[in-house]
Structure formats: C-alpha cells, structure tokens
C-alpha cells in the first residue's frame, strides 16, 4: 500500500513538472495567448505565430483582377494590302493590282480616364483602321497619337470620358519573386487574367525590338496578349506584355514586359513632343566581368565600366572618367547593360540623375544633367553621323574604279577620337555598310546610326585607304 501511494505521488509530481515545462516553453515562444473562433462546430485558433513570410494562398488577386479587366481592351488592327500579278501584266498588258483586308489582333491598356490607350507598336503598325473593344463588348474607333518603334510602344485614343484605367506603378520598385498578373486577350478571347511571379529584371533578349531591359515573368502570355497589362498586387501597371520566347508561338514558361517607367516616359513624350526625346549620357561602356574586375582591382563583377567619356556629353560635364564603374543610378542597382539602358530610357534630356561609381576602390556620387551631346532638347535634330563619325560624302568615280565597289561614303574629316585612336580609322577610309546594311547615302547612314542607339553597339563595315576590309564596333550612347 505504501509503495502504491509513493508511485502515485511520483507520477503526480512528474505530471506537474511536465505541465510546468510546457507552460514555461509556451510562454517563451508565444507572444500572446491563443484566441479561437467556432467554424463548423470546431474551435479554430486565430492568432498562431506563423512565419511573417506570406504564403501564396494568402495573396488575394480578386479585387485587382476585377479592376484591371475593365481597363484592358481588345485591339483590332485593319490594314489594306495591295498585291500585283507580274505575269498578268507581262502577258496580258493590264494592271493586276488587287487589294485585300488584313486583320491583326492584340491588347491595350487604358491609362487615363479620357481614353488614352497604350499598346505595342507591332499591334497597330501600318493600320488603316483601329477598332477597340472594351470588356463590356462596346466597340470604338481609335486614332493613333504616336508610336516609338525602338521601344515597341504605341499610343492610341478613343473619344470617351470617365473610363476605368490602370494607374502607373514604379517599375524600379518591382522585385524578383513578386506576384504579378498578366491581363490581355490571348487567342482573340475576351479579357483573360493569369498570375505568376517576376522571374528577372533587365533582360536583354538580343535583337528583340532593341528594348534590352525587359521584366521577365512566368505568368502565362500567348498570342494576342501583346500590348496587355502586367499588374502588381496593388493594381498598378508595372509593364506592358510584349514578347514570349517560343519555338511554336505558344507560351513555354516565360514572358517579357516593357517596364512601366519606360512606357510612361514614352507616351508622355508622344503627347508633349510628338516624338520620343532620348537622353544621352555620352560614354562608351562595357559590362564588368572577372577579367576586367581583376585588372581594375575590384572585388565585385557587377557594374558597367566606362571605357571612354565623349566630349560635350553629360558624363564629361559631370566629371565622370574612364574606368569609373557605374553601380547605381538614383539608388537603383546597375549590374549589367539592361539595367543602365532601362534607366536611361526612362529619362529625358534636361533631367538630372545621381550616378554612383567606384573609382579606384572608392564610392563616389555625381549629379549628371542628361542631354544629347550637342545640348539640344530637340533630339530629333541631332546629327548622329557628324558626332559619331565625322564629315562624310559619297564616293567618286576614282574610288569606284580603284576598289571595284558600287556604293559607300568616304570619311572627309573624322571627329570620333575612338575610331581614330583605338581602331585606326582615318580620313579617306570608306564606309561600306552598317549592321549588314549597304550604305549608299548620308541619309541612310544617319538612319541606321539613330536606329542603333538602343543597341549595345553597331558594326561599321569599313574599307581602308589601302584596301583592307575591317569591321568596327561603335556604341551609340
């Protein structure tokens, strides 16, 4: 009997110790007592201390989707194409012109209550008629306000008031891993919403519209989504869906959007100036890598190296130097070409930006007032040929006979010191082409130089005075 009593006492004491330990641990690990609520006859705790990272199922897309759907439209592009039958003209001696209607489809985003709509330039390019269908199936005729082929952005307008619209967000604040919605009209369907995360920023697709600064997502985007909205969970427009990488034309896991900061600046320029105003920094540059970082005695391999500072440029005026490594613009981290290009495209001549560089191991900051190299706000009047190459003129009979060539432009007076000092290009050398395009006139050269300003570089095909053929890279920035 005594042993039984002792066993009961020991068991009770052990239970108390266990309960006390549990209460002590619970008190240490729980900031507040559990509250509960009755759900289907069961008491469910409501204030468990979960990790502060939000689970995907707690992200509510319903409100954002509802608001975005009514601000995304279907864009119908109607163009008239003319075809000719040369055989009918040759054999029967009569005109054989035949006209037919060609229809293209895409999406657009209403960005103001008075009916301004952003879409891709390739959605409405060469259109003779543009028709807009709202999510409520109402149809309107739209007029083209302006377009920028380099950024693949077009601005159109319908004559309607009090329209639902999507406000612009700051694409610089978009983070990898952030949830986004893609809203558009794939396969000619009515407005469709898909969800995904931001997979990467500053993507350079290599030859895709020269944008070179895409936001990459895994939200499903297919044919017809072009020109649609990429929206964050706050309902802000952070991009215009533009491209997919696919062998069959369908979605394969990744899609690409033009950042909203570039879009916003582009359409503001189109409204105010009628053309896009391009800001120039006035440098030649390369991406930092292991070899270059070792040569410059820096630990990081992220950043843009300034390889040359051009006279009369914004960088020169601000005090930037060769071998400075650009690591930030306005507190936005710059790790590669796409980051730098994206920042410059969202700015215009006259704006002042803060550029952070590493110079000889020290971090320095410079306030740089952007402009084109001649300091004019009207970039459309900028002489690319004179600045980046020099004075040129069409070749004469002597050169045609001597080198057995048909076309080209002779350099009379070279103005680009890099072409002269680094690549040995001199007066008297002949420009035969640029980026695989044959050059016949100064106007053609000017056009291709201007077109190449959003690329990392263009390639000049040059015939030297001694008959040697050379291919010279030149950066237009």
Cα 281 from Cα 303, distance rounded (Å): 16
**β-bridge mates for residue 304, sequence order:** 287, 326
* H helix intervals, 213-272: 260-272
Of residues 361, 387, 364, the one with CA closest to residue 374: 387
DSSP-based three-state secondary structure for 101: strand
Alpha helices in 46-100 (DSSP H): 62-69, 86-92
Q: Is 428 left (phi over 0), alpha (psi -120 to 50) or beta?
A: left
Active site residue 74: no
- How far apart CA 283 and CA 316 sit, in angstroms, is 8
The number of angstroms, rounded, from the C-alpha of 214 to the middle of its chain's C-alpha atoms is 4
Catalytic entry in 148, 152, 212, 339: 152
Q: From residue 404, give the alpha-carbon distance in Å to each of 149, 394, 400, 441.
A: 36, 15, 5, 18
Catalytic residue among 68, 74, 122, 454: 122
State the virtual CA torsion across 308, 311, 317, 319 in degrees, nearest 10. 30
Distances in Å between the Cα of 174 and the Cα atoms of 195, 211, 214 are 15, 18, 12
Task: Look up 448 and say whether it is catalytic.
Answer: no
Q: How many helices and strands (H and E) does the chain possess? A: 12, 26
- Catalytic residue, chosen from 226, 255, 346, 356, is 226
Indicate the Cα dihedral angle 164, 170, 174, 180, nearest 10°.
Answer: 0
Bridge partners of residue 326, in order along the sequence: 304, 357
226 belongs to the catalytic site: yes
Between the alpha carbon of residue 48 and those of residues 20, 28, 37, the distances in Å are 21, 14, 12
Q: Which residues are catalytic?
A: 122, 152, 226
């Amino acid at each position: 009997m005594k042993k039984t009593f002792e066993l009961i006492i020991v068991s009770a004491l052990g239970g108390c110790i266990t309960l006390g330990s549990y209460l002590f641990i619970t008190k240490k690990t729980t900031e507040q007592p559990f509250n509960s609520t009755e759900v289907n006859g069961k008491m469910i705790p409501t204030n468990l201390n979960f990790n502060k990272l939000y689970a995907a199922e707690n992200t509510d897309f319903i409100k954002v989707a509802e608001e975005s759907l009514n601000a995304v439209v279907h864009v119908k592009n109607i163009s008239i194409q003319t075809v000719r039958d040369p055989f009918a003209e040759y054999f029967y001696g009569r005109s054989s012109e035949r006209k037919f209607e060609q229809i293209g489809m895409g999406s657009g985003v209403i960005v103001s209550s008075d009916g301004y709509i952003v879409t891709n330039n390739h959605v409405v390019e060469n259109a003779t008629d543009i028709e807009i269908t709202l999510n409520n199936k109402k149809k309107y005729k739209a007029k083209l306000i302006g377009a920028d082929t380099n950024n693949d952005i077009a601005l159109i307008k319908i004559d309607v008031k009090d329209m639902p619209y999507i406000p612009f967000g700051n694409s610089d604040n978009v983070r990898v891993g952030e949830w986004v919605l893609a809203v558009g009209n794939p396969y000619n369907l009515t407005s469709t919403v898909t969800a995904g995360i931001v997979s990467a920023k500053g993507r350079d697709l290599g030859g895709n519209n020269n944008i070179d600064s895409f936001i990459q997502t895994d939200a499903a985007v297919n044919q017809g989504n072009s020109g649609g909205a990429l929206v964050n969970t706050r309902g802000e427009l952070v991009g215009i869906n533009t491209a997919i990488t696919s062998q069959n034309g369908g979605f394969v896991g990744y899609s690409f959007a033009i950042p909203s900061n570039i879009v916003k600046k582009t359409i503001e320029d189109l409204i105010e100036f009628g053309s896009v105003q391009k800001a120039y920094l006035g440098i030649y540059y390369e991406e930092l890598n292991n070899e270059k970082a070792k040569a410059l005695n820096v630990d990081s391999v992220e950043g843009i190296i300034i390889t040359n500072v051009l006279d009369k440029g914004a960088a020169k005026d601000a005090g930037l130097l060769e071998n400075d490594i650009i690591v930030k613009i306005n507190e936005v981290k710059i790790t590669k070409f796409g980051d730098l290009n994206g920042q410059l495209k969202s700015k215009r001549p006259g704006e002042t930006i803060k550029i952070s560089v590493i110079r000889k191991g020290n971090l320095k900051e410079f306030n740089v007032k952007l402009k084109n190299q001649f300091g004019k706000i009207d970039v459309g009047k900028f002489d690319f040929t004179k600045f980046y190459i020099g004075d040129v003129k069409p070749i004469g009979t002597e050169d045609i006979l001597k080198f057995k060539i048909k076309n080209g432009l002779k350099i009379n007076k070279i103005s680009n010191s890099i072409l002269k000092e680094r690549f040995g290009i001199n007066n008297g050398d002949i420009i035969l082409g640029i980026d695989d395009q044959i050059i016949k006139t100064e106007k053609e050269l000017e056009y291709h130089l201007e077109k190449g300003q959003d690329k990392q570089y263009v390639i000049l095909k040059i015939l030297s005075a001694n008959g040697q053929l050379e291919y010279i890279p030149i950066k237009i920035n």
